[in-house]
Amino acid sequence: MNANGASPRIAALDLAIVLGAIVVAWQLSKWVLYPALSIPGHAPYLLRPITGFFAAWWLLRRRGERWANLGLRAPASWWRMAAVAIGLYAADSAVSQWVVPAIAELAHPMQAPSFLAYTRGNTPAFLLWLAIGWGVGGFMEECLFRGYLTDRIATLLGGKAFAIAFAIMAQALLFGSMHLYQGTFGALNATTFALVHGVFYALAGRNLWPLIVVHGVWNSVGMWGVYNA
Whether 120 is in a domain gets the answer yes
| Nearest residue to 150 via CA among 210, 208, 75 | 208
In the chain, the number of structural domains is 1
**pLDDT above 70: residue 128:** yes
Whether 183 is in a domain gets the answer yes
Identify the band that residue 5 occupies on the pLDDT scale cut at 50, 70 and 90.
Answer: low
Whether 91 is in a domain gets the answer yes
Whether 1 is in a domain gets the answer no
Whether 2 is in a domain gets the answer no
Query: In angstroms, rounded to a whole number, what is the distance separating the alpha carbons of residues 205 and 92?
Result: 18
> Can you give the pTM of this predicted structure?
0.96
Secondary structure class of 187 (helix, strand, coil): helix
1 Cβ contact partners less than 8 Å away, ≥ 6 residues apart: 7, 8, 155, 159
Read off the pLDDT of each residue in 146-163 and give the average, rounded to a whole number: 97
Domain that holds residue 201: 8-227
**pLDDT above 70: residue 2:** no
The pLDDT assigned to 228 comes to: 96
In this predicted model, what pLDDT tens digit does every residue of 175-219 receive, in sequence order?
999 999 999 999 999 999 999 999 999 999 999 999 999 999 999
Read off the pLDDT of each residue in 223-227 and give the average, rounded to a whole number: 98
The pLDDT assigned to 1 comes to: 41
Query: In angstroms, rounded to a whole number, what is the distance separating the alpha carbons of residues 45 and 24?
Result: 12
Whether 24 is in a domain gets the answer yes
Read off the pLDDT of each residue in 129-149 and give the average, rounded to a whole number: 98
**pLDDT above 80: residue 110:** yes
Measured between alpha carbons, how far is residue 162 from residues 150, 190, 206 in Å?
12, 23, 17
The pLDDT assigned to 88 comes to: 98
Whether 197 is in a domain gets the answer yes
Whether 3 is in a domain gets the answer no
In this predicted model, what pLDDT tens digit does every residue of 26-67 receive, in sequence order?
999 999 999 999 999 889 999 999 999 999 999 999 999 999
